[in-house]
Amino acid sequence: MARDIHAPKKTASDTDTTPFESAEEAWFWFIAAQKAREEGARFVAGQGLVARPCEPIDILKAVDRLYRNRRLVMDHLLVLRHYGVRFLPPDPRRMREARAARLWSEAMDRLGDALDAKGILHKRRLGEQHWLFDMTVYENEGAR
């Protein structure tokens, strides 16, 4: 019985990865990984608490590619960095953050498309919706 000893073995990290729910989640994960790296952390693929379908550099490469193809401009990158290190997206309701919120939204849409094409984002099944769309808003009719 001959075995191919040169074939790579499948590990748990190859099959049990958890894709990101959104580009925003992927971006914040990338920022956290970069901060940890700056503080001296050593990375080994597949050794995190949650196995992801990519490495942090893959997120950076996607952003770089969007910038080089002029899908993102420097203003997008500045907003991504500024709010990324805060781990909080800009609030469109605040006058001072309205422009940043628009740039953030544009960047997340474009990054989401790029990450989705690479299989890094969770693909929603037809008819599956986000929990936000399932919410019901109740109004106080007695207050009228």
**Domain range list for the chain:** 14-44+51-123
Burial status of residue 52 (CB atoms within 10 A of its CB: 0-12, 13-18, 19 or more)? buried
What does pTM read for this prediction? 0.73
Query: What pLDDT, on the 0 to 100 scale, is given for residue 125?
Result: 46
Burial status of residue 62 (CB atoms within 10 A of its CB: 0-12, 13-18, 19 or more)? buried
**Confidence label for 123 from pLDDT (cuts 50, 70 and 90):** confident
Q: Does pLDDT of 1 surpass 90?
A: no
State the chain's mean pLDDT as an integer.
82
Query: What pLDDT, on the 0 to 100 scale, is given for residue 16?
Result: 79
Answer with the residue of higher pLDDT: 133 or 95.
95
Answer with the residue of higher pLDDT: 43 or 10.
43
Query: What pLDDT, on the 0 to 100 scale, is given for residue 5?
Result: 53
